[in-house]
Amino acid sequence: MENKTVKPLDVAKLIADKNIVALFQGRSEAGHRALGNRSILYDPRDPNGKDHVNIVKQRELYRPFAASVMLEHAHNWFDMAGLKESPFMMFAVDVIKDKQKLIPCVTHVNGTCRIQTVTQEQNLNFYNLINEFYKLTSVPMLFNTSFNLAGEVIVETEDEAIDVLQRSKIDYLYLPEKQLLVIGKK
C-alpha cells in the first residue's frame, strides 16, 4: 500500500475516472446513514456503477444507492416535494426526468433517489470534494454508500478503514483531514 498527499481536486478526478474512493474523516455519523464521514464514493454518471460497487461491497445487486448533492443544486436535479433540504438522507425523491439519464448510478428503477443535501457548514471537506467533482463534470453530487462490506458494521477507526481497504477492491482511501490518499491493492 502506498500513500500520497492530495487535494480534493485530485480525489474528484479519481472518482470521475470511475475509481471507488472510501472517505474517512472526523467522528462517525450517528444512525444508519453514511453522511460523508464514513462513506464509499463513486461516479453517479456510470450506468454500470451500481453493479460495480455492489460487487466490491459484496452486497445484494437489487439495493439502490444514494446521492450526496450540494444543497444549492438539489432543486435543479430532484423534485424536492416541498423539502428545503435533506441533510440526513431520510427521503427518496423523484429525479427530474431529463436528469435521470445523466445520473443512472443513483437513479432507482422507479425514477427516485434517496438524497443527502450537503452544505459547507455541515461538512466542509465533503462539500469541497463534491464541488470539485461538479467543476470537472457539471454534476453536483456523488454516489454515496456506507463504508463497510456486506454483513459488517461501518468502520469506526482509521485502522478499520485500512483493514477494509486491504480486504476489498476499493481503489483508494481518502483522509481529507490529513490530505492523505491511501492506495488500495491493485
Domains of the chain as residue ranges with CATH: 2-183 (3.90.870.20)
φ/ψ of 9, rounded to 5, equals -60, -40
The set of cell numbers assigned to 85 is 433540504
| Residue 152, CA distances (Å) to 29, 58, 160, 164, 185 in order | 16, 10, 11, 10, 20
SS3 32: coil
Identify the DSSP state of 106: T
- Per residue of the chain (186 residues), what is the pLDDT tens digit? 678 889 999 999 999 999 999 999 999 987 768 899 999 999 999 999 999 999 999 888 777 789 999 999 999 999 999 999 999 999 999 999 999 999 999 999 999 999 999 999 999 999 999 999 999 999 999 999 999 999 999 999 999 999 999 999 999 999 999 999 999 976
Q: What is the pLDDT of residue 9?
A: 98
Integer Cα distance of 58 and 137 in angstroms: 28
**Cβ 54 vs Cβ 149: under 8 Å:** no
Residue partners of 125: CB distance under 8 A and separation at least 6: 8, 25, 36, 176, 177
| Residue 136, CA distances (Å) to 12, 14, 89, 90, 180 in order | 8, 11, 24, 28, 21
